[in-house]
Chain A
Amino acid sequence: MPDRFEQVVLPHLDAAYNLARWLVRSPADADDVVQEACLRALRFFDGFRGGDSRAWLLRIVRNTCYSWMRTNHPSALTDAFDETVHGGETAGGGVEAELISRDESARVRKALEMLPVTFREVLVLREMEGFSYKEISEVTGVPMGTVMSSLSRARQKLRDQLETGTRKEV
């Protein structure tokens, strides 16, 4: 069984970490959350009936992230626009920040980090992991129709965010 657990879980470790990292937004916390999620996965493993192991694992990771946020950072779950991250990012200043601001992916990262958590999760699952609406619905427990509309709103928000960000930097 441990062998089989390894075969099912470890191939999706990058996906698990990436999702956790985008949801909790700190490397150390993402590390903890993924380990905790794997412990839970191990506990639930007997209930895993085969099938899409990536969606199965990410669902556990996602739920672990949410419990972690509920305990450690409840405002992260409700904020429409996260000031803690927003404030932290602009505090850098100087030449270094100037260089980063010219970097496209750093700009996108910043914009994505500031989105509400429900938008971040659909964008990560759809755009980075290439999940279908059905798989996203499996991971998040949200109905497929809602996945579609929140994805649409998330994209619009991110684009708005990128546009205002650009205007500020020009």
Chain B
Amino acid sequence: MDCTLDRHLLEAYLDGELGFERSLEVEAHLGSCPRCSLEVQSWKEFRSALRGSELYYRAPAPLADNIRKLIPPARRVPWLERGMWAGAGAAFATAACIVVFTLMHPVVRSFGQEIVASHVRSLMADHLMDVVSSDQHTVKPWFDGKLDFAPPVRDFSEEGYPLAGGRLDYLERRDVAVLVYHRALHVINLYVWPAKDDSSTTVDLETLQGYNVLSWKRNGFEFRAVSDLNATELRGFASLLARNP
């Protein structure tokens, strides 16, 4: 058995660091190379030994309390404590305004802007899709094991919104599913993640940096559709999704 597969490639594969296509190449190789598939098996066993809960040290309960205690005094404005603020009211107010503005500024960036940034990145960085397929039965299972939820996946080719593929993204500190649709030459990124409750909302439109962002909640999922497509056709897409849960 002459196997020339790079060992690093095998590890990158196990670490989920290869793109979709190269992963498929490695998988095809594993099917025909007993040596590599044995090695993958042994890496997996090794990994499960490392991931055993007994090796993970959880923070002792008092630690969180101690850290909470650190917060208020450290955030207090020291001038107040030293009593040096008398007569410096105006200066303080100005400084406070600047501080508040500076502190608030990053928070002001809305979730909508974050999604538009992700949409733009996906188009720029050549990372639109991890799984390329117009077949919903290929795209849906691809998410299995990559997310802790199963996003609804439907193809709307007949209605003029063909499914092109999917990928994973990270927003608001959680993994989200992204389904990619086409409408003529436009790309629609549909972001899906579990909602906090089962309530449904109407479809809201927001326009940011020239992109239309539709937001709605339905069947326990949050949806955001982002595209440079005009609002009417994008709404048409959203209502297709609403009709086909």
Chain A contact residues, CB within 8 Å of chain B: 1-2, 4-6, 9-10, 13-14, 16-18, 21-22, 27, 30-31, 34-35, 38-39, 42-43, 46, 48-50, 52-53, 104-106, 108-109, 112, 123, 126-128, 132-133, 148-149, 151-152, 155, 158-159
What 0/1 pattern do residues 71 to 91 of B give for CB contact below 8 A with A?
110110000000000000000
Expressed in whole angstroms, the Cα–Cα distance for A65 and B68 within the complex equals 21
Expressed in whole angstroms, the Cα–Cα distance for A159 and B11 within the complex equals 14
Q: List 20 contacting pairs A-B, 8 Å CB cutoff, sorted by A.
A: A17-B57, A17-B59, A17-B60, A39-B74, A42-B70, A42-B71, A42-B74, A46-B102, A50-B106, A52-B173, A53-B173, A105-B52, A106-B54, A108-B50, A128-B56, A132-B16, A133-B15, A133-B17, A148-B8, A158-B46
- B86 CB, nearest partner CB in chain A, Å: 25
- Complex interface: chain B residues within 8 A of A13 (CB): 59, 63-64, 67
Q: Are A50 and B109 in contact (CB under 8 A)?
A: yes
- B44 CB, nearest partner CB in chain A, Å: 12
Q: Are A155 and B55 in contact (CB under 8 A)?
A: no
Expressed in whole angstroms, the Cα–Cα distance for A147 and B137 within the complex equals 36
- Complex interface: chain B residues within 8 A of A16 (CB): 59
In this assembly, does B12 line the interface, its C-beta being within 8 Å of a C-beta of chain A? Answer: yes
Q: Are B11 and A155 in contact (CB under 8 A)?
A: yes
Expressed in whole angstroms, the Cα–Cα distance for A46 and B71 within the complex equals 14
A38 with B67, Cβ < 8 A, contacts A127-B51, A128-B50 known: yes
In this assembly, does B66 line the interface, its C-beta being within 8 Å of a C-beta of chain A? Answer: yes
- Complex interface: chain A residues within 8 A of B55 (CB): 105, 108-109, 112, 128
- Complex interface: chain A residues within 8 A of B66 (CB): 35
Q: Are B64 and A148 in contact (CB under 8 A)?
A: no
- B107 CB, nearest partner CB in chain A, Å: 8
User: Chain B's interface: helix, strand, loop or mixed, by majority?
Assistant: helix
Q: Are A2 and B67 in contact (CB under 8 A)?
A: no
Q: Are B49 and A104 in contact (CB under 8 A)?
A: yes
Q: Are B11 and A17 in contact (CB under 8 A)?
A: no
Contact of B75 (CB < 8 Å), options: A42, A50, A106? A42
Q: Are B57 and A30 in contact (CB under 8 A)?
A: yes
Q: Are A14 and B52 in contact (CB under 8 A)?
A: no
In this assembly, does B125 line the interface, its C-beta being within 8 Å of a C-beta of chain A? Answer: no
Given contacts A2-B71, A31-B60, 16 further A-B contacts (CB under 8 A): A4-B107, A13-B59, A13-B67, A18-B59, A27-B57, A30-B57, A35-B63, A38-B67, A42-B71, A43-B74, A50-B107, A105-B49, A105-B55, A108-B52, A132-B15, A155-B11
Q: Are A152 and B11 in contact (CB under 8 A)?
A: yes
Expressed in whole angstroms, the Cα–Cα distance for A43 and B73 within the complex equals 12
- Complex interface: chain A residues within 8 A of B54 (CB): 105-106, 109
- B57 CB, nearest partner CB in chain A, Å: 4
Q: Are A10 and B75 in contact (CB under 8 A)?
A: no
Q: Are B75 and A1 in contact (CB under 8 A)?
A: yes
- Complex interface: chain B residues within 8 A of A109 (CB): 54-55
A123 with B74, Cβ < 8 A, contacts A17-B59, A53-B173, A152-B8 known: no
Q: Are A18 and B17 in contact (CB under 8 A)?
A: no
- Which partner residue on chain A sits nearest B100 by CB separation? A1
- Complex interface: chain A residues within 8 A of B74 (CB): 39, 42-43
Nearest 8 Cβ contacts at the A-B interface = A17-B59, A21-B57, A105-B54, A127-B50, A2-B71, A13-B59, A18-B57, A105-B52
Contact of B63 (CB < 8 Å), options: A34, A42, A148? A34
Expressed in whole angstroms, the Cα–Cα distance for A99 and B60 within the complex equals 26
In this assembly, does B186 line the interface, its C-beta being within 8 Å of a C-beta of chain A? Answer: no
- Complex interface: chain A residues within 8 A of B11 (CB): 148, 151-152, 155
- Complex interface: chain A residues within 8 A of B60 (CB): 17, 27, 31
Q: Are B59 and A14 in contact (CB under 8 A)?
A: yes
